Structure 1
Amino acid sequence: MVTTGPRARQVPTERDGADGSEPGRTPELLVLLSSVGAAVAAVAQPFVLGRTLDLLLRDGDAGHWLTLSAALLVGEMLLDGLTSLFTVRCNADWTAAVRSRAFAGLLGAVPDRARSHTPGDVGTRLTLNAADAGGAPAARAALAASLVTPVGALAALAVVDVWVAACVLAGLPALALVLRSFARDTGASVAAYQRAQSQIASRLLEALEGAATIAAAGTGARERERVLAPLGELAALGRRMWALHGRALGRSGVLVPLLVLAATAVGGLRLASGALSVGDLLAACRYAQLTAGVGGAASLLGAVVRGRRARDRTLELERLPALAHGTRTLPPEGRGALELRGVRVVRDGRQVLRADGVRIPGGTTAAVVGRGGAGKSVLAAVAGRLIDPDEGQVLLDGVRLDRLSREALRTEVSYAFERPALGEGTVADAVAAGPRTVSREQVRQAARAAGADGFVRRLPHGYDTPLPAAPLSGGEHQRLGLARAFAHAGRLLIMDDATSSLDTATEHEVDRALRRSPRPGTRLVVAHRPSVAGRADLVIWLEDGRVRAVASHRDLWREADYRAVFGIGGADRADGGGNERNDSTGGSGAGTGKAPAPGAGAARLPEPEERLPEPEEARP
C-alpha cells in the first residue's frame, strides 16, 4: 500500500522477517566469559600470593610461584580490558536491535493503535529507554560473573581455614537482604521515573509544534508551567533512586569492613595457635574481602532492574497489533469497485462508523463529506485497510481486503494525506518511493498532474534537489505527496484531506488531471469544500458516524442539513428551477451563481445493478 502520510506509514516488521532481529547471546556470552575469567584470576591470586610469601619467609624457591602470580595479575588486567570492550559492543548491538524492533513494531502496527502513544512518549522509548534496555544484557552477564568471585572466594577460604570461612558466611545473609530490598524498591521507582520522563517529552514536543500559536497568544509562561509540571515528581523520584542506591552502598559499606575485621580477628587467633601460616592469613583476609564484595553488586543490579523496566516499555511498541494479510490477488479485469458491507467501527465503547450497503462503482470519484467527527477519516482508513472494522467486510473488485496479500494491497491501494511524510532524499526520490518502479518521466507526469512540476523546476537542482534544502510551503509539500500517490496509483486512490492546502484553481487542475489519468481507478476523496463534492460522481454523506445518504451532490444539495455541512444556511437553497442563490455550492456552476445543469460536473452513475459485479465471496 503506497502511503503519503504519517497515519499510513507501514514497514516490514520482525513478524514479516524484516531486519532488526536480536544479536543473539554471543555478545552477552563474551562479556560473561571474560568477566568469569577475570573473576577466576582474582580468586586464584590470593592463594598464589600466600604460597609465595610462605616460601619467601622460609627461604624456599618461590620463582615459579612469583611467575604464576605475575601471570595471574597480567591476565586479570587483560581480561578486564576485554570485558570493557565486549560490554561496549554488546550494549551497542542490543540497543540498535531494541530500537529497530520497537520502531518496526510501531510503523507496522495498525495506525490507530500506534497513535495511542504520543510522539514524545515514543521518542523517549526509542532513545533513553532503548539505551537502558540495550545495556541490560551486558549488565546481567557482569552481575552473574560478579557472583563467581564471592562464591569462589568463599570456597577457597574454606580450603584455607574453615573457621574463618564460617565467620564470613555468618554475615552474608545480611548483605543478601540489603540487595533484595534495593532491587524491590528500585524497580518501582525506575518505572515511575521513566513515565515522568515521557510526560515531559510529550508536553515539550506539543509545545514545540504549537510554538507559533503559543507566541501569538502570549501564553508562554503558562505553557512552560504545563511542560515542566512533572519535573517536581521527576526530581523526587530521582532523589529517591539515588537515596536507595546510597543506602544500599552505605549498608554494604558498613557490613563489608565488619566482616573483613571479624575474619581478620579469627585468622589472627588461628595464626597465634599455629593453625595458619602468615601466607594463609594473607590469603584468608583477601578472600574475606572478595566474599563480602557481593555488596558491590548493587550497581550492576540497579542497571539490570533499570534495563528490565525500560525493555518493558520498548516491548509495548514492538508488540503493537499488526494487520494480518491473506494470499489473494485482485481479478485482472477489475477497475476498483468498492463495497462496504455491514461495516462497524467502535472506539472506547462508542460507535464511530456504521456503513452498510455502500457501493462505489469502479472508475468513479466518490466524495466523503460530513461535519467534524462524523467519521470521514475512519471510513477512509477502513476503505483502504489501514484499520479493520470491528464488524463487516470491505471488498475491492469483489475480493475482501483482509484476504489480499500484502503486495496486492500495497500495489493497488494508495493514500494521500494532508501532511505527507516525504523523507530526506531528493524530490524525485520522494515521488518515486513506493511499490511500483517509476521512471523519471513518470515522476514528472505525476508532478504535473499534482500541480507540482512548476515549482519543482524552480528549485536549485530541480528534481534532484534534496528535500531538506528545498524551501517548500505547506501547499507545495502537499502537492509532492499527491504526486507520489498519483505515480503509484492503482485501482483505489484514497485522498484524506490531501488537497486542504491547495487553492481552488490548483485543486480543480488536480481533479482534471485525475480524470485524464491513464490508470482509470476509483477515487475516494474526503471533502470539506462543496466544489470538491460537486465535481465528484457521487457523495457519501456521513452524520454522527452513520452513512445518511449516498447520492449526487446536486440531489443532496436540496437538503438544508447537507448544505449546513458546508456552512450554508437554509436561505441559500436551490429554487424550483435549479438555480442556487449562493455561488459557494461548488460544482461546475461554482462562481456563476447557477447550479450545475443536470449531468454537468458529474459522470452519469449506472443503475445499481450495473455498478458492481456480484462479489466472489458473499460471506466470510
Structure 2
Amino acid sequence: MTTAPGPAYRSAPTTFGAVARHGRAWLPVIGLTALASSAVSLALPSVLGHSVDAIVAGSGYGRWFTIAAVLIGVGVLCSLIDAFAGTACVAGTTAWLRHGLVSQVVRGGAEGSREFDSGDLVSRVSGNASDAAQAGPAAVTTVAATAPPIGSLVLLALIDPWLAVAFFGGVILVVGVLFVFARRTAEISLSYQQTQGRISALLTEAVTGLRTIASAGTTTREERRILGFLPELHRHGLETWKVLARSGAQAAIVGPLVLVAVLAVGGLQLVDGRITPGELFAASQYAVLGAGLGSLTGVIGEIARARAGIQRAAEVFAIDKVAHGLLPLPPGPGRLTFDGVTVVADDAVLLENIHLELPGGATIAVVGPSGAGKSVLASLAARLRDPSIGQVLLDGVPLPALNHHALRTAVGCAFERPTLVGTTVGDAISHDAIGPVRTLAAARATHAHDFVRRLPDGYFTPLPKAPMSGGERQRLGLARAWPASRLLVLDDATSSLDTATELQISKTLTEDRYRRTRLIVTHRTATAARADLVVWLDGGRVRGVGSHQDLWQDASYREVFG
C-alpha cells in the first residue's frame, strides 16, 4: 500500500502588514503621538505669526507667547511618549518574530531547514528579525508624516491661494526624490542582508571545523574564504550611503527652492497688502515644514530594511513543520513495518520500494556499503523524516498518526556524532526532566556513568567544562535515548567506542530486559553477528534479510565488512 507523505503544516506567510499589525496597542499610541506632534507643528507657525503681528501692533503678544510655550511643551511630551512606544513596539515584535522563527526551525526538523546554512539562520533570527520589527512604527510614522505637508498646503491656501500653488510645485519634486530613494533602498537592503547571511554561514561552518582547519593548515585560506564577501558587503553599504547622500542632496536643493518660491510670492502679496507680516512669517514656516518631507529618508530606509528582513523571515516561515496525529500507541512488542517505502531527495532515490516486517523486541542490524541508505532507513524508523511514498508503522500504527508525546516516549535515537544540548552533563541525558533516578539508570546502562562520576562536578559539570572524547559523547547520546519504551534506533552510535566498551554496550542491548526493538546501523561484524536479524541494504534496496550466519555465505555480504 502506498500513501502520501506524512502530514505537515505550514505557518501563515509573513507579510509586511502581518508584522506591522503585531504592534497591537502600541501602534495607536505611536500614531496618536505622531499626529499630535504634527498638529503642534502646524499650529506653532500660526501662533508665532500672530505673535509677530501682536508685536508690530504693540499689544497682546504675551498671550500668544504663552500658547506657543504650551505647544512646545506638548510637542516635547509627544516626542518622549513616541520614543518609548516605538522602542517597546519594536522589542515586542522582535521577540515574537524570533520566537516564531526558532519554533519554525526546530519543529521543521533536520529536513525542513536543510536548504539553509546554520549561520544564515542565526543571521535571520538575530539581525533580520530586528530589522523586520521596525515595520509597524516605521509605517505609522510615514503615514503620520504626510500630515504636515498636507496641512501646510491647506493652511497656506487659507492665507493666500498663490502661496499654496508655489508650495505645491516644490513638494511634488520632493515626493519624486523620495519615491526613487525608496525603490533603490529596498533593493540594496535585501542584498546587504543576504550577504551578511552568507558571511555568518561561512563563519559558523569554520567554527564548527576549527580542528580540521588547524590540522590541515588551511587557516589563511579559510580567512580569505570567509572575508571574501566583505568587499561585496562594503559595496552594498557604499551604495546605500550613495543613494542616501544623493537623495539628501536633492531634497536639500528642493527644500530651499520651495522656501524661496513661497517667500517670493509672499513678499509680493505683502507689498500689495494682501497678507500681514505675521502671515508671511507663518507662510515661511509652513514652507520649511512641508519641504521637510525630505527628512523622511531615514524612516523610508527603515521600511526598506524591514521589508528585506520580513522577506528573509518569510523564507524560514515557509518551512514545513512536522505535524503529528492524535493517536496513542497501543500495547505491542515494538513491531516495525516498512510498507512500500521510497525516499526521494533532490531528484535522487535514496530508498526504493522497501518492504520490511521487523519483529518486536528483536535486535536488528542494518548493514551495507556507504550510500546504501542505512541512515535514511534509521531516520524513517525514528520519524526524523517521512517517506516520499509508502508508510512506516510501529505496532500497526503509522508514525505520523501518533501524537507527539506517544512517539517520542516510545522511540529513542542515538547518532554517530551526537549534539549534546543543555547546561550540564546531566541535562544532556535527562531530556524532558525524566528525573535523577532514571538519569542515573540510563547512564549506568550505557556505561556513561563510568566517566561522568570522574568529572569535577559529576552530573552537574557544565558541558563546556567537560572535555570528552568522541566515544564519551556517544555514550551520553546513548544514555539520552535509553529511556525510550518501545524502539531504540542507533545510527552508528557505537562507532567511536573502544572494543571493550562497545562489547559491554552491545551485550546490554542484546540482553535488554525491557525487550525493546533495537534497530542498529553498524559497520562492525561483531555487532551484526550478535543481532537477531540483519537487514542488508545496497543502492537503496534491500539486498537480503536474515541471520548474519546465513548472509555470511554470500561473498558480496562479506565485502560489506571489508
Q: TM-score of the superposition, structure 2-length normalised?
A: 0.93
Letter in 1 for 2:368: G
- How far apart are the structure 1 equivalents of 2:66 and 2:213? 73
Task: Indicate which of 519, 523, 527 corresponds to 1:528.
Answer: 523
Kindly state the Cα deviation for residue 60 of structure 1 after the two structures are TM-superposed: 2.7
- How far apart are the structure 1 equivalents of 2:479 and 2:29? 51
The 1:356–1:240 alpha-carbon spacing in structure 2 relative to 1, beyond 3 Å, is: same
Q: Where does residue 505 of structure 1 map in the other structure?
A: 500
Q: Where does residue 484 of structure 1 map in the other structure?
A: 480
Task: Indicate which of 430, 433, 437 corresponds to 1:432.
Answer: 430
Q: Where does residue 238 of structure 1 map in the other structure?
A: 237
Q: Where does residue 286 of structure 1 map in the other structure?
A: 285
Q: Where does residue 199 of structure 1 map in the other structure?
A: 198
Q: Which runs of 5+ in 2 are unaligned?
A: 1-8, 13-18
1:6-64 deviations in whole A, cap 9, x for unaligned? xxxxxx9979xxxx998542223322222222121111111111112212221232333
Kindly state the Cα deviation for residue 157 of structure 1 after the two structures are TM-superposed: 2.0
Task: Indicate which of 433, 447, 452 corresponds to 1:451.
Answer: 447
Note if contact 1:104-1:318 (Cα within 8 Å) is conserved in structure 2.
Answer: no
Note if contact 1:13-1:104 (Cα within 8 Å) is conserved in structure 2.
Answer: no
Q: Where does residue 494 of structure 1 map in the other structure?
A: 489
The alignment-based identity, stated in percent, is 43
- How far apart are the structure 2 equivalents of 1:473 and 1:136? 48
Kindly state the Cα deviation for residue 217 of structure 1 after the two structures are TM-superposed: 2.2
Residue 416 (structure 2) pairs with residue 418 (structure 1): yes
Residue 464 (structure 2) pairs with residue 465 (structure 1): no
Q: Where does residue 5 of structure 2 map in the other structure?
A: none
Q: Where does residue 346 of structure 1 map in the other structure?
A: 344
Residue 539 (structure 2) pairs with residue 540 (structure 1): no
Structure 1 residues 152-161 or 46-55, which shifts more?
152-161
1:494-549 deviations in whole A, cap 9, x for unaligned? 11222222112112211222334443211111112222222221111111111211
1:248-288 deviations in whole A, cap 9, x for unaligned? 11111111111111111111111111111111111100001
Residue 128 (structure 2) pairs with residue 129 (structure 1): yes
- How far apart are the structure 2 equivalents of 1:227 and 1:148? 47
- How far apart are the structure 2 equivalents of 1:155 and 1:272? 23
The 1:421–1:26 alpha-carbon spacing in structure 2 relative to 1, beyond 3 Å, is: farther
- How far apart are the structure 1 equivalents of 2:147 and 2:407? 56
- How far apart are the structure 2 equivalents of 1:562 and 1:13? 43
The 1:221–1:439 alpha-carbon spacing in structure 2 relative to 1, beyond 3 Å, is: closer
Equivalenced residues, count: 548
Note if contact 1:424-1:468 (Cα within 8 Å) is conserved in structure 2.
Answer: no
- How far apart are the structure 2 equivalents of 1:171 and 1:407? 66
The 1:28–1:565 alpha-carbon spacing in structure 2 relative to 1, beyond 3 Å, is: farther
- How far apart are the structure 1 equivalents of 2:216 and 2:325? 51
Q: Secondary structure at the match of 1:502?
A: coil
The 1:528–1:29 alpha-carbon spacing in structure 2 relative to 1, beyond 3 Å, is: farther
Greater relative CO, 1 or 2 (CA 8 Å, sep 6+): 2
1:387-444 deviations in whole A, cap 9, x for unaligned? 111110111101111211222212212211233333332333332213xx62322211
Q: Where does residue 266 of structure 1 map in the other structure?
A: 265
Q: Secondary structure at the match of 2:28?
A: helix
The 1:497–1:34 alpha-carbon spacing in structure 2 relative to 1, beyond 3 Å, is: farther
Q: Secondary structure at the match of 1:344?
A: strand
Note if contact 2:425-2:462 (Cα within 8 Å) is conserved in structure 1.
Answer: yes
Kindly state the Cα deviation for residue 172 of structure 1 after the two structures are TM-superposed: 2.0
Note if contact 1:490-1:521 (Cα within 8 Å) is conserved in structure 2.
Answer: yes
Q: Secondary structure at the match of 1:82?
A: helix
Note if contact 2:367-2:374 (Cα within 8 Å) is conserved in structure 1.
Answer: yes
Note if contact 2:510-2:531 (Cα within 8 Å) is conserved in structure 1.
Answer: no
Kindly state the Cα deviation for residue 113 of structure 1 after the two structures are TM-superposed: 2.3
Kindly state the Cα deviation for residue 386 of structure 1 after the two structures are TM-superposed: 1.5
Q: Secondary structure at the match of 1:519?
A: coil
Q: Where does residue 187 of structure 2 map in the other structure?
A: 188
Q: Where does residue 572 of structure 1 map in the other structure?
A: none
- How far apart are the structure 1 equivalents of 2:475 and 2:383? 23
Note if contact 1:103-1:317 (Cα within 8 Å) is conserved in structure 2.
Answer: no
Q: Where does residue 92 of structure 1 map in the other structure?
A: 91
Structure 1 residues 90-99 or 507-516, which shifts more?
507-516
Structure 1 vs Structure 2 CA RMSD: 2.1
Residue 151 (structure 2) pairs with residue 152 (structure 1): yes
Note if contact 1:354-1:545 (Cα within 8 Å) is conserved in structure 2.
Answer: yes
The 1:355–1:539 alpha-carbon spacing in structure 2 relative to 1, beyond 3 Å, is: farther
Structure 1 residues 503-512 or 361-370, which shifts more?
503-512
Q: Secondary structure at the match of 1:109?
A: helix
Q: Where does residue 362 of structure 2 map in the other structure?
A: 364
Q: Where does residue 438 of structure 2 map in the other structure?
A: 442
Letter in 1 for 2:334: G
Q: Which runs of 5+ in 1 are unaligned?
A: 1-11, 568-620
Letter in 2 for 1:55: A
- How far apart are the structure 2 equivalents of 1:207 and 1:429? 27
Structure 1 residues 125-134 or 217-226, which shifts more?
217-226
Q: Secondary structure at the match of 2:185?
A: helix
1:571-612 deviations in whole A, cap 9, x for unaligned? xxxxxxxxxxxxxxxxxxxxxxxxxxxxxxxxxxxxxxxxxx
Letter in 2 for 1:512: K
Q: Where does residue 115 of structure 1 map in the other structure?
A: 114
Task: Indicate which of 380, 386, 389 corresponds to 1:382.
Answer: 380
Q: Where does residue 303 of structure 1 map in the other structure?
A: 302
Which runs of structure 2 are paired with 1:38-77 in the superposition (5 Å)? 38-77=37-76
Note if contact 1:22-1:97 (Cα within 8 Å) is conserved in structure 2.
Answer: no
Which runs of structure 2 are paired with 1:570-581 in the superposition (5 Å)? none
Note if contact 2:424-2:460 (Cα within 8 Å) is conserved in structure 1.
Answer: yes
The 1:209–1:22 alpha-carbon spacing in structure 2 relative to 1, beyond 3 Å, is: farther
- How far apart are the structure 1 equivalents of 2:202 and 2:520? 33
Q: Where does residue 393 of structure 2 map in the other structure?
A: 395
Note if contact 2:494-2:502 (Cα within 8 Å) is conserved in structure 1.
Answer: yes
1:217-237 deviations in whole A, cap 9, x for unaligned? 222222222222222222222
- How far apart are the structure 1 equivalents of 2:392 and 2:76? 67
The 1:466–1:21 alpha-carbon spacing in structure 2 relative to 1, beyond 3 Å, is: farther
Structure 1 residues 300-309 or 459-468, which shifts more?
459-468
Note if contact 1:491-1:521 (Cα within 8 Å) is conserved in structure 2.
Answer: yes
Task: Indicate which of 371, 377, 396 corresponds to 1:373.
Answer: 371
- How far apart are the structure 2 equivalents of 1:30 and 1:415? 51
Note if contact 1:21-1:101 (Cα within 8 Å) is conserved in structure 2.
Answer: no
Letter in 2 for 1:265: A
- How far apart are the structure 2 equivalents of 1:30 and 1:418? 54
1:336-378 deviations in whole A, cap 9, x for unaligned? 1000011011111121112432111000111122222221121
Letter in 2 for 1:471: P
Note if contact 2:335-2:357 (Cα within 8 Å) is conserved in structure 1.
Answer: yes
Letter in 1 for 2:345: R
Normalized per residue, the structure richer in helix is 2
Note if contact 1:13-1:108 (Cα within 8 Å) is conserved in structure 2.
Answer: no
